[in-house]
Amino acid sequence: MSAIAVAVTRLPHGRDLPLPSRATADSAGADLFAAVTEDVVLAPGARRLVPTGLAIALPPGTEAQIRPRSGLALKHGVTVLNTPGTIDADYRGEVGVLLVNLGQEPFRVTRGLRIAQLVVATVARFDWREVATLPGSVRGEGGFGSTGQ
């Protein structure tokens, strides 16, 4: 499989931090690092947009998704609030991560902490085709919880 080339610029406050990297060769996401200039403490229930010190240019037809790191969620109750966060191909500003502390203890975000994962994916283009009725399906109109527990 060929890799998707993503242009990246380190912003001044992120120049000393590593570029996002995968933990293993088959990892879907690359870890993003906090580019805070001083520690940020997230109280229980608090949220904060954490800078990464990076700006990217995605190829047309792709998006980047910001996803939580499972270790932060399991160990501290810290996750990405608007998960997955979407970065559109035409966005050129700094990549930020909206962290929320759903845990019961304050959580300290330090410079260089791995705070989220970035996954690049292709996007299917679609056009709306309004119809009077929808074709049937096995599931039909069954909603939340309709296919089992």
In the block, tokens 């399906």 appear at 137
* Gap between the Cα atoms of 83 and 68, Å rounded: 7
- Token pair in block for residue 18: 């590593």
Q: Which amino acid is at 131?
A: V
Which pLDDT tens digit goes with each residue over 29-57? 999 999 999 999 999 999 999 999 999 99
To which residue do tokens 């309709």 refer? 146
Cis peptide before 84 (omega within 30 of 0): yes
Determine the average pLDDT of the residues in 142-149: 69
Q: Is the domain defined by 18-122 classed in CATH 2.70.40.10? A: yes
- Tell me the per-residue pLDDT of 92-131, one tens digit each, with 9 for 90 and over: 999 999 999 999 999 999 999 999 999 999 999 999 999 9
